[in-house]
Each structure stands twice: as structure tokens, then as C-alpha cells.
Amino acid sequence: MAQTTIYDLVRRLGLTPRPGQQEGESGNYKCPLCGGKYKLNVNYEKNTYRCVRCGAAGGMLDLFARIVFGHEYDRNDPDAKDIRDAVFGEDNAQPRQSRPVPPAITPAADDVLNKVYRALLSLPELNLTEAHKKALIARGLTEAQIGCYRSMPVPEAVDIPRIYYDLANDCTKGEGMRGFKCPRIALGLYLTELLKERGITNFQGVPGWFKLEDRWCLYNIDGIMIPTRSLDGNVVSIQVRTDNAKLRYMTLSRKEFPSAVSTGISRAHVTRNTTKAPNECKVLLTEGPLKANVISALIHEPVYVIAIQGVNNTKCLLPLLKELREKGVEVIYNALDMDRITNRNVREGSKAIRRMMANEGFKFPCLVWDRDACANIAKSFKAKLPEGRVNPQEYQDLWTYTTALAAELEEQEISHNTSWPSRSKGLDDWLKTQRSKGR
């Protein structure tokens, strides 16, 4: 009989999945422990879970014990056997769903990815649209600084020969594939064909491509294409800022499609505004390649800016940290958005990165760019707490003090709902504000 998996368990428990999420190695659910909307990440391969909001984490038995029995799982507890029987027991008549786990497909080497992605980005069909140009300039970039970005067009904007529509319809009986519609498949087949004409023939191991019967096809979503670069400057992944307000940023890939890369897709991004070596100038860490590029373009000192794709997406950082260490870097500045102080989710992510930095032997000091806003927020937090609850003398600086106040408010279940002012939430926002003031 098939072993019960955490995939079966979350269904049995009736957890609410994030609407429209893709089937993959993991899924996000509403956390039944703290109510956090889609903060509970369930890893189907490791049979583990973790809530990024309340920090609860463990295996299947622990998840079941906390939800149904109201406490952590401990195999020495008197009810431990009941919990095990309820999860794995023979007399449990719930239907079991077994989920076939396909073999992992890993990415090709960086120079292979670079060759394919650069050829893709050089296609005139992907030239920046006026709307995307405007959006980038609104972020603080100049015309000269937007040369590396491209637009993935809507299929209707491209002169796609009829044969690609016919192929897309024939292969999918006109229905497309799991939300990926026929005109988009036609565009993906056509762009791939244009690359073949330019001598790019092998798409194996390149995230973004999948096989439609025996043909390679590019998964595509319309939006601004932002290249993710390695320390060596290779383009190793492409992020898309979608035109759909709900989705915002996505990596160009569809890992559950046939022959598509299924693991190791997310990569850390590196950009710089200097020819100096990384150990001869400041190295900053932020979230999101576009943000990193804006910081690097607007800041008045030589820097390397590294970006993770999301504050809870830290695994991709590890190989880069090892490379930087070998190059003699010892300090990386924390330039994550300032809501790492006030937003619990960002703060937990920031803490996890701090632990990783410490493990790898890096100092990770905080950059604070808007002291005034931080002081105001500290003042408003202090007013909500009983006198003497958090002693400023115990903290080395204003931001660790403010962070402690935010944590104490959450501990006391006092809502603070603080949003950082938009002029200085990100270092990119702050640099743009300063520039508009002529500083």
C-alpha cells in the first residue's frame, strides 16, 4: 500500500491552497495555526511544512498534531500513538492519493544558459514597448540605463506564421496546456524557430523551454523581461515583471511541463557599477533584480548589488556567497526593504539570511537610509506599549530598537499595521527621492 504523504494529509485536513498555484515540489496554504494567508509552505518532496509567519515547522505528524491535537508532536507524549495511527493507520478509510514524482531535470551549465538567453533577448520581436519603457523610467532609470530590458509581447502583436497556430492547435486539440493558451504556444514555437535560424538548436536544460510533442517551445508571459546575471556576468535566468497586477514577478519557466527544468531554476542576481573587484568596494544585498539594477545605477559610490528573487527564496544565495568568499569579500550590507523592521514576514526572511551569512562567515550590517522615518515609527510603536516594556539602552542602534518594538507589539498582539513611507521603503526609492531633490 502506498505510504501516506504530506500531499494527502493537507487535502485530508482541508487546508486552503493559494488560488491558481501551480503543482510543483511545494505548495502554499493558508496557515491554520496563525491564519497567515498562504504563509504555510508545504514541501511535497521532503514531506515537511513551514509557516513563514508564525515559524511553525516540522514533519507530517507535527502538522497533524498541531492542527488536530493543538500541540507539537512529541513521540513520548501519551497521545503520540493516536496521532501516528490517525496519520498512517490501517483503519483510516480516507482515500489515498499517490502523487507520481517525476525525475528531476537540472539546468544546463551557465555558459549554455547565457548563449540561449542572450540570443533570445536579441530578437527584435522582443524590443521594449513604449509602456514598458515608461514603467522603467518611472523607477528612476534613464533611457541609457534600460538597454538590457526587453518586452515579451502579446501574441497578437507579432506576425506569427499560420503554421505555428496550426501546430499549437493540433498538439493540444485546440485547448492549450494548463492555462497556457494556443496563441501563446504558437508564439513560443515561433520564437524558438527564430533562434534556430540563428544557430541555437539545443534547449535542453534551459528554464523556460519545454517539449510539445517533439518540438521545443518557449513558455511566455507578457511583461518586462529582466535578465538575472551571475557574478561572471552570464545571463542565467530571466525574471518577468508581468503586466498582471496580481502576479507581478515570475521566473520564466514552467517546471511541470514536459522536459522542462524542474529544479535549481531560481538564481541570485549580481550587478555592479564599477570595474573594481568585489572585495575593493561595498557589496549590498536586496530583493529583486530590477531593484538591484536601480540601486546600482543611482548610488554615488562603487558597489556590487546582489539580489535574491524573494525574501524567502534564499537557497540560491549559497553558491554565490561561496564565490564572494573566495574573492575575499567579508562584509555584505543588508539593503533589503526597510519593512524588514515592521513586516513580520520580511523580518523572518531577513533573519534567515542573517543566519546564513553568519554560517558562511560574513558580517551583515544593516543599511538604514531614512533615519527620520525610522525614528517616527519607533515613537509611534513606543506609544502603543506599556512604559518600560522595551528599553532603548539595551539596543545598539535605532533600527534594532525599532525591530524589537515591532516584535514586542506582535508578542502582545497589539496591531501596528505600519507601512513604511513609499519615499524610502526600498534603497532604490530613497535614491530616486534624493535625486529628484538634486542630491
Binding residues for Zn ion, per CB under 5 A? 31, 33-34, 36, 51, 53-54
Q: How far is the CB of 54 from Zn ion (least distance, A)?
A: 3
3-state secondary structure the chain: CCCCCHHHHHHHCCCCECCCCCCCCEEEECCCCCCCCCCEEEECCCCEEEECCCCCEEEHHHHHHHHHHCCCCCCCCCCHHHHHHHHHCCCCCCCCCCCCCCCCCCCCCHHHHHHHHHHHHCCHHHCCCHHHHHHHHHCCCCHHHHCCCEEECCHHHCCCCHHHHHHHHHHHCCCCECCECHHHHHHHHHHHHHHHHCCCCCCCCCCCEEEECCEEEECCCCEEEEEEECCCCCEEEEEEEECCCCCCEEECCCCCCCCCCCCCCCCCEEEECCCCCHHHCEEEEEECHHHHHHHHHHCCCCEEEEEECCCCCCCCHHHHHHHHHHCCCCECEECCCCHHHHCHHHHHHHHHHHHHHHHCCCECCECCCCHHHHHHHHHHHHHHCCCCCCCHHHCCCHHHHHHHHHHHHHHCCCCCCCCCCCCCCCHHHHHHHHHHCCC
What is the C-alpha to C-alpha distance for residues 418 and 265, in angstroms, rounded to an integer? 34
Q: Which is nearer to Zn ion, 334 or 343 (CB)?
A: 343
Q: Which is nearer to Zn ion, 52 or 406 (CB)?
A: 52
Cα dihedral 149/264/339/394 (nearest 10)? -140
Q: Which is nearer to Zn ion, 58 or 264 (CB)?
A: 58
CB distance 307 to 315 below 8 Å: no
Q: How far is the CB of 49 from Zn ion (least distance, A)?
A: 10
What is the C-alpha to C-alpha distance for residues 339 and 347, in angstroms, rounded to an integer? 8
Q: Which is nearer to Zn ion, 34 or 121 (CB)?
A: 34
Backbone angles phi, psi at 143, to 5 degrees: -50, -40
Q: How far is the CB of 58 from Zn ion (least distance, A)?
A: 12
Q: How far is the CB of 41 from Zn ion (least distance, A)?
A: 10
What is the C-alpha to C-alpha distance for residues 202 and 314, in angstroms, rounded to an integer? 30
Q: How far is the CB of 57 from Zn ion (least distance, A)?
A: 10
**Max CA pair span of the chain:** 74
Q: How far is the CB of 377 from Zn ion (least distance, A)?
A: 25
Q: How far is the CB of 415 from Zn ion (least distance, A)?
A: 17
Q: How far is the CB of 33 from Zn ion (least distance, A)?
A: 4
Q: Which is nearer to Zn ion, 175 or 413 (CB)?
A: 413
Q: Which is nearer to Zn ion, 34 or 119 (CB)?
A: 34
Q: How far is the CB of 392 from Zn ion (least distance, A)?
A: 30
Q: Which is nearer to Zn ion, 39 or 184 (CB)?
A: 39
Q: Which is nearer to Zn ion, 33 or 221 (CB)?
A: 33
Q: Which is nearer to Zn ion, 34 or 281 (CB)?
A: 34
Q: Which is nearer to Zn ion, 53 or 211 (CB)?
A: 53
Q: How far is the CB of 407 from Zn ion (least distance, A)?
A: 16
